[in-house]
Structure 1
Amino acid sequence: MDKKTEEFYVRLKDELANTSLWPSEYLYKFIVPSDKQKVDKVEAEFNNMGAVIKSHKSKTGKYTSVSISVQMKDPDHVIEKYKALSSIEGIISL
């Protein structure tokens, strides 16, 4: 992981710790190329967690937005999910 990404996660952890009481509901938002395998991989990361997952294809069908609302234990677990999904080619975390 490069230094810029590492700094981002440190800031995110601090912000999450200071703005929410944990455990807390967290909303992830991703933009993924509309490749079934990639969308399925994002959704599979939240299996068996009681997550509410909504996906919507873009007007052109080239991208799919995936919103995931899920109860997370603490900021470290939020960041773990972002890191786990960062390996998906073309994914954008919002």
Structure 2
Amino acid sequence: MDKDKEKETAEFYERLKVELDMSNTWPALYLFKFIVPSEADNVERVELTFDCMGAVIKTTKSKTGKFTSISVDVQVKDAQEIIDKYQEVATIKGIVSL
């Protein structure tokens, strides 16, 4: 990743952390939403990210079956935990975080 993109990403997560802290009382229930290509092990990789956290995970395939939406309801301890999860799933090829 080049320096400009890295800086932009870091600034985005800083702003997100501030917004999350202003709008939540910790710990809190948080809803993660993702869209992944329905190929390979993408859904499983997202599910494993939230393993052992007591998460409620719902998946829905698109009409064509090319994509799967994933909703994850989970109790988080603070804004940093949310950011850590977003960064962890960002390594999955083709994932879109909503």
Shorter-chain TM-score above 0.5: yes
Does 1:7 pair with 2:11? yes
Q: Which has the larger radius of gyration?
A: 2
Aligned equivalent of 1:51, options 50, 55, 60: 55
- For the residues of structure 1 that align with 2:97 and 2:12, how far apart are their CA atoms? 12
User: Unaligned stretches of 5+ in structure 1?
Assistant: none
Deviations 1:1-52 (A, max 9, x none): 6111111100100000000000000000000000241110001111111100
User: Unaligned stretches of 5+ in structure 2?
Assistant: none
- For the residues of structure 2 that align with 1:87 and 1:36, how far apart are their CA atoms? 14
**TM-score normalised by length of structure 2:** 0.93
Aligned to 2:75: 71
Aligned to 1:31: 35
- For the residues of structure 2 that align with 1:81 and 1:8, how far apart are their CA atoms? 15
**TM-score normalised by length of structure 1:** 0.96
C-alpha displacement of 1:66: 0.2
Which stretch of the first structure deviates more once superposed, 34-43 or 58-67? Answer: 34-43
- For the residues of structure 2 that align with 1:46 and 1:16, how far apart are their CA atoms? 19
What's the RMSD between the two structures over aligned residues? 0.9
Percent identity over the alignment is 55
- For the residues of structure 2 that align with 1:57 and 1:39, how far apart are their CA atoms? 11
What is the total number of aligned residue pairs between the two structures? 94
Deviation beyond 3 Å, 4+ runs, structure 1: none
